[in-house]
Amino acid sequence: MTPTRAGLLALLVTLVFDQASKLGLYFGTDLVLTQPWRLAPFADFVVVWNRGVSYGLFQQESGFGRWFLVALSLAAALGLGIWMTRAGSRLLAVALGLIVGGALGNAIDRAAYGAVLDFVHLHAGGWSWYVFNVADAAIVAGVIGLILDSLSPAGRATSGDAARSGPAPGDPAPRP
């Protein structure tokens, strides 16, 4: 599978799973009325409408703020999507696909409802993590993938790339 196809697959799986989980929990259950749902001693399902960006920062109550964040998400998704189509490694393409799929999933929520539906709450003892959703988890996994790709020499210039580009400036001319 080419890197671009792997990235597109990651994007589509992320987007479908994100939207299906949100729509299923919000419209297909009584979670809103019976929350929290205890999944484990450290995890609950709850309903939180996030009108801001990551971790609830920069809360937007106005129509302008809502549509500005939608436009920003779409612009980021477009730019990262173009990068994904040019990725030289599957890891990079999948990481970008996860980020783009997550950004589009949250942009759909914001456009349709004015806020992003977050529902996973992790906690332990007195410690509580932010409430997040599948799109947020995919974005974090994608960023981790970007970091891993940047640390890996594999997937960079291959010998075929070097041969096509010719000698670097200052290199001695090849002998016949």
Per-residue pLDDT of 27-39, as tens digits, reads 999 999 999 999 9
Distance between CA atoms of residues 141 and 100, nearest Å = 12
For residue range 122-163, list pLDDT tens digits in order.
999 889 988 999 999 999 999 999 999 999 876 555 444 544
Model pTM score: 0.81
Distance between CA atoms of residues 19 and 88, nearest Å = 29
Catalytic center residues: 118, 136
Listed in sequence order, the residues at least 6 apart from 62 whose beta carbon sits closer than 8 Å to its beta carbon are none
